[in-house]
């Protein structure tokens, strides 16, 4: 059949195809298509068009859509064509409909009937065409309309029909598993169909089913193994052969299924070893398809219960892939390697240079695959090199999708394996700097939380050292233009919390920096909110410490500006800052004690601490409180309840109209975070949110938020007021910060251990030596943490094999080094020197080990100083710090009060003031501070109210 002028096509059609093909530009192509659309609109509606002409027009419609133009005007003609008696026309009609419409299109309903009719046809080709359409057009609701017929067709005498019926059923399963759950057995039955095509088709649904529920299909292991064996032995018809491979696509599907069934199942795996091994030896590695099957075998082997012989064969195959010149094979080799190292990590050692080559290849695909491999083989000994590489790459690419992915991987690895605080902070800084707007906001929150909680378990000095180094690096970075918002938020928060903590920087310096940030990002309310809260913290620490506070003029003007802000959130923060500045040291210290972000907040919703006050007031002749519901002519302002019950009344202002604050905030995240995601008109009161978390569910809490305040009042006056609040919440609920915090993945705990231990091992190696060998050594060399590597003199190749041998040590053990510090050297310590001497070999010379045992600290420190040159030697400062900061920390502890000081302090005061209506603000505040542990009244959403009160 010649290409030109295939039968039935008009010259017009040929010309169209040609002119589109010859179009010089997209604009020209578009012009042609638009003209074509006009022609088709006229022609299709012409009643005198012949059927075959019609078919051509419908195909021309297909072109119109393929080229990106809307052809919906002609859909109905395609639908009509499915009714045609002529098979060719009918199938073209079905084809066009499946290409035009998705299963939820309105026109589908017109086709279901035709499909039903065609499924009953005597002509099996018609049935096949209808089954094809079933797979594309039937949605969940129309499944019942065709299901009985499809099931019947599973037993059709024509194998082509059985095959398509299996796939139609598969489709129903994909769409709505429930609708065919009783028919699953048919798939099993079709597995033993006489026709290999039907059997091959049945593998598709079975693969899906096994993926979801392996255990129900273990009985089929024997069958699958048998089938695979027969396929490999060329029992299938010759027509399935492809490039001398017997039915390779079926083999691959079967290997995928076996991998699922044999995963973590020794017994099942043992049944598969022989056949998989046979196939691996039979594969011609000269053809692509042979390699494809081979690759699938490796995937299968790495999923099965380990078998040394097969693993050996897989490793051989991998090295063949990696040594190949073809990038495709290298790619597969890298991928296979990343699968295999889970079982036998030593395999990677042999291929270090090949991996480095792939990593440095200009081909992006290969590079990314290699990063994936590195990601999987990261451990504490090579994390620095790997993450640095990743970040370098991340900085260079523009593809935001991948940038996001690699950034979150960097963060994950850094959190998991960070060898030191400085490194961790630096890494996070880089990630934030270059991809801050792409990473999940959670990452920023996690960083702040980490900073607040610290990594070390009992080691306060490490925490404070971490914080100081963070502060230092942030002060350095924050001047740079175009920092992502999320990063600046972290910076502001950390500066607020810890900016002045170590006494290195003066308050005026830090506040100046904060004002600069707020000024430079005057359009970003979130950053401004963070900045002003940070300012508030710094000033209150100053006040509390009894120092005289000189407020910078720019800060004053900033506050001035925020007082008039449109954002109520900013306004509230500004008022809070103002209020705090007016208080004395004693009060401020109670409101915002130093370093207590992680302290628990205890909340007494009953406000029992006010009982005495109320009692006194009553005795003095004050009016008792009447719940609003019982009041006659309740005032509009406080009439929340009635507004919630009735439709919004016409004559009142709607006070409840604002969206309520989200109650589900992690409690120990500072208040600003709340508003960082959404700037709601209502000032965010995280304290409210926190308290509300005690309510059974978030939605519950929301709905009762406004009432809750009144609930606090309820018992005070001893009257049943509002029934809406669950009684359980009125008991002393502790918002347990610590609990929430520990929700962080279990890795967290081990992390901290790793970090804890790695404080000792402070040597950093940032630069990657140019030589590949060195890179390889740093990537692969450190097989396990517990290795002793003091011998920096030895050259690497000699000891490589030894390293390979020891690399079996499980990672878990590696990442949990003993925390003993004095008598016994932590293995970590020895490890530390390894990255610094990238060129040096991982070796296990017993003498060297002994050496290491004897003089660990001196040795390492001297090495640090000598060997690393450029990098700081944090060892000294670390130990020096320890004693110092322990002192200061305990001091801080002694003054710190159990209280919430995430900047909520201000809010709470005002709340209290409001509810008190007390004449003496300071007195009230102090009283508040004393009983803070027991009671906080969340209320007061209107800053103006406070303004009046506070003057």
Partner 1 sequence: MGIRFVLMVNKQGQTRLAQYYEYLNLEERRTLEGEIVRKCLARTEQQCSFVEHRNYKVVYRRYASLFFLVGVDNEENELAILEFIHLLVETMDRHFGNVCELDIMFHLEKAHFMLEEMVMNGCIVETSKSNILSPIQLMDKAS
**CB-CB neighbours of 892 under 10 Å:** 17
CB 160 to partner 1: min, Å: 7
State which H helix or E strand residue 387 sits in.
helix 383-396
* Closer residue to partner 1, CB minimum distance, 67 or 895: 67
- Contact at 8 Å (CB) between 729 and 714? no
Q: Is 809 helix (H, G, I), strand (E, B) or coil?
A: coil
* Closer residue to partner 1, CB minimum distance, 248 or 670: 248
CB 443 to partner 1: min, Å: 21
CB 163 to partner 1: min, Å: 7
* Closer residue to partner 1, CB minimum distance, 400 or 697: 400
CB 235 to partner 1: min, Å: 14
Q: Is 389 helix (H, G, I), strand (E, B) or coil?
A: helix
* Closer residue to partner 1, CB minimum distance, 92 or 791: 92
- What is the b/e burial string over 551-570, where b = at least 16 CB atoms within 10 angstroms of the residue's CB? bbeebeebbeebbebebbbb
* Closer residue to partner 1, CB minimum distance, 174 or 749: 174
* Closer residue to partner 1, CB minimum distance, 295 or 759: 295
* Closer residue to partner 1, CB minimum distance, 98 or 473: 98
CA dist., res. 118 & res. 836, Å (int): 74
* Closer residue to partner 1, CB minimum distance, 17 or 768: 17
User: Closest Cα to residue 595, out of 931, 901, 881?
Assistant: 901
List, in order, residues 6 or more apart from 53 with CB less than 8 Å away.
10, 43
State which H helix or E strand residue 542 sits in.
helix 525-544
CB 155 to partner 1: min, Å: 18
3-state helix, strand, coil split of the chain in percent (to 5) is: 65, 0, 30
CB 589 to partner 1: min, Å: 53
- What is the b/e burial string over 425-435, where b = at least 16 CB atoms within 10 angstroms of the residue's CB? bbbbbbbbbbb
For CA atoms 913, 916, 917, 922, give the dihedral sign: negative
Q: Is 379 helix (H, G, I), strand (E, B) or coil?
A: coil
CB 131 to partner 1: min, Å: 9
* Closer residue to partner 1, CB minimum distance, 186 or 702: 186
* Closer residue to partner 1, CB minimum distance, 363 or 745: 363
* Closer residue to partner 1, CB minimum distance, 217 or 424: 217
- Contact at 8 Å (CB) between 704 and 633? no
CB 293 to partner 1: min, Å: 8
CB 495 to partner 1: min, Å: 37
CA dist., res. 776 & res. 773, Å (int): 5
* Closer residue to partner 1, CB minimum distance, 337 or 921: 337
* Burial (CB count within 10 angstroms: exposed 0-12, middle 13-18, buried 19+), residue 216: exposed
* Closer residue to partner 1, CB minimum distance, 368 or 389: 368
Q: Which two tokens stand for residue 128?
A: 């096949």
For CA atoms 475, 479, 483, 488, give the dihedral sign: positive
CB 366 to partner 1: min, Å: 6
CA dist., res. 521 & res. 484, Å (int): 11
CB 72 to partner 1: min, Å: 9
CB 25 to partner 1: min, Å: 9
- Contact at 8 Å (CB) between 555 and 511? yes
**CB-CB neighbours of 670 under 10 Å:** 27
CB 747 to partner 1: min, Å: 24
**What would the DSSP string read from start to end of 298-348?**
HHHHHHBSP-HHHHHHHHHHHHHHHHSS-HHHHHHHHHHHHHHTTT-TTHH
Q: At what angle do helices 124-137 and 143-153 cross, to 10 degrees?
A: 140
């Amino acid at each position: 059949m010649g290409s030109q002028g295939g039968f039935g096509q008009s010259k017009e059609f040929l010309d169209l195809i040609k002119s589109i093909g010859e179009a010089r530009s997209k604009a020209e192509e578009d012009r042609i298509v638009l003209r074509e659309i006009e022609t088709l609109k006229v022609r299709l509606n012409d009643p005198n068009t012949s059927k075959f002409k019609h078919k051509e027009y419908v195909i021309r419609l297909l072109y119109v859509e393929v080229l990106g133009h809307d052809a919906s005007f002609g859909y109905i003609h395609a639908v009509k064509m499915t009714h045609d008696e002529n098979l060719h026309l009918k199938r073209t009609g079905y084809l066009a409909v499946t290409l035009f419409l998705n299963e939820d299109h309105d026109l589908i309903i017109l086709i279901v009937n035709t499909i039903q009719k065609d499924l009953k046809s005597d002509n099996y080709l018609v049935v096949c065409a209808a089954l094809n359409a079933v797979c594309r057009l039937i949605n969940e609701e129309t499944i019942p309309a065709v299901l009985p017929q499809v099931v019947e067709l599973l037993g059709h005498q024509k194998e082509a029909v059985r095959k398509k019926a299996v796939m139609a059923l598969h489709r129903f399963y994909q769409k709505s598993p429930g609708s065919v759950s009783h028919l699953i057995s048919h798939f099993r039955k079709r597995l033993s169909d006489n026709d290999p095509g039907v059997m091959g088709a049945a593998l598709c649904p079975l693969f899906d089913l096994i993926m979801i529920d392996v255990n129900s299909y273990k009985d089929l292991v024997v069958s699958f193994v048998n089938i695979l064996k027969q396929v490999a032995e060329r029992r299938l018809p010759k027509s399935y052969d492809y490039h001398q491979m017997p039915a390779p696509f079926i083999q691959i599907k079967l290997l995928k299924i076996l991998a699922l069934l044999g995963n973590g199942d020794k017994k099942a795996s043992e049944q598969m070893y022989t056949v998989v091994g046979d196939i691996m030896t039979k594969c011609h590695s000269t053809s692509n398809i042979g390699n494809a099957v081979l690759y699938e075998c490796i995937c299968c082997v790495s999923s099965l219960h380990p078998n040394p012989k097969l693993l050996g064969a897989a490793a051989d195959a991998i090295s063949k892939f990696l040594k190949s010149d073809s990038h495709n094979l290298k790619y597969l080799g890298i991928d296979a390697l990343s699968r295999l190292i889970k079982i036998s990590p030593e395999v990677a050692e042999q291929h270090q240079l090949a991996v480095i080559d792939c990593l440095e290849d200009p081909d992006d695909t290969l590079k990314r695959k290699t990063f994936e491999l590195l990601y999987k083989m990261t451990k504490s000994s090579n994390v620095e090199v790997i993450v640095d590489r990743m970040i370098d790459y991340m900085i260079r690419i523009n593809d935001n999708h991948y940038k996001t992915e690699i950034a979150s991987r960097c963060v994950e690895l850094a959190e998991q394996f960070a060898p030191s605080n400085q490194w961790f902070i630096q890494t996070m800084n880089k990630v934030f700097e270059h991809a801050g707007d792409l990473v999940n906001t959670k990452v920023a929150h996690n960083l702040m939380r980490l900073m607040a909680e610290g990594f070390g378990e009992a080691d306060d000095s490490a925490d404070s050292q971490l914080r100081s180094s963070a502060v230092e690096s942030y002060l350095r970075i924050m001047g740079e233009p175009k920092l992502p918002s999320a990063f600046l938020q972290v910076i502001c928060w950390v500066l607020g919390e810890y900016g002045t903590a170590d006494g290195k920087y003066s308050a005026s310096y830090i506040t100046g920096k904060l004002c600069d940030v707020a000024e430079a990002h005057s359009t970003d309310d979130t950053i401004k909110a963070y900045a002003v809260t940070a300012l508030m913290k710094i000033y209150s620490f100053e006040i509390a410490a009894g120092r005289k506070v000189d407020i910078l003029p720019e800060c004053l003007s900033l506050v001035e500006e925020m007082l008039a802000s449109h954002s109520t959130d900013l306004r509230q923060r500004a008022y809070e800052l103002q209020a705090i500045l007016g208080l004395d040291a004693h009060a401020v210290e109670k409101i915002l004690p130093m370093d207590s972000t992680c302290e628990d907040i205890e909340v007494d919703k009953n406000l029992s601490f006010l009982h005495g006050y109320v009692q006194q007031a009553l005795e003095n002749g004050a009016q008792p409180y009447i719940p609003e519901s019982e009041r006659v002519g309740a005032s509009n302002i406080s009439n929340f309840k009635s507004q919630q019950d009735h439709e919004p009344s016409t004559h009142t202002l709607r006070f409840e109209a604002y969206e309520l604050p989200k109650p589900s905030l992690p409690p120990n995240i500072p208040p600003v975070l709340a508003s960082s995601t959404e700037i709601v008109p209502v000032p965010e009161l995280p304290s409210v949110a926190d308290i509300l978390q005690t309510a059974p569910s978030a939605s519950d809490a929301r709905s009762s938020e406004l009432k809750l305040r009144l609930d606090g009042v309820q018992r005070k006056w001893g009257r049943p007021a509002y029934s809406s609040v669950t009684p359980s919440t009125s008991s002393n609920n502790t918002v347990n910060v610590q609990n929430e915090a520990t929700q962080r993945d279990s890795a967290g705990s081990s992390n901290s251990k790793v970090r804890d231990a790695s404080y000792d091992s402070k040597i950093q190696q940032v630069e990657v030596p140019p030589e590949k060998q060195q890179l390889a050594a740093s990537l692969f060399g450190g097989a396990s943490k517990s290795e002793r590597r003091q011998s920096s003199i030895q050259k690497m190749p000699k000891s490589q094999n030894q390293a390979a041998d020891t690399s079996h040590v499980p990672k878990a053990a590696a990442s949990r080094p003993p925390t003993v510090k004095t008598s016994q050297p932590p293995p970590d310590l020895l490890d530390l020197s390894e990255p610094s001497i990238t060129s040096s070999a991982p070796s296990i010379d017993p003498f060297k080990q002994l050496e290491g045992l004897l003089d660990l600290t001196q040795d390492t420190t001297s090495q640090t100083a000598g060997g690393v040159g450029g990098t700081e030697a944090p060892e000294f400062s670390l130990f020096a710090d320890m004693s110092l900061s322990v002192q200061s920390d305990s001091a801080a502890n002694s003054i710190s009060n159990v209280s919430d000081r995430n900047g909520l302090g201000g809010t709470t005061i005002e709340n209290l003031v409001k509810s008190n209506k007390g004449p003496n603000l300071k007195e009230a505040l102090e009283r508040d501070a004393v009983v803070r542990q027991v009671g906080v009244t969340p209320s007061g959403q209107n800053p103006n109210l406070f303004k009046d009160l506070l003057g």
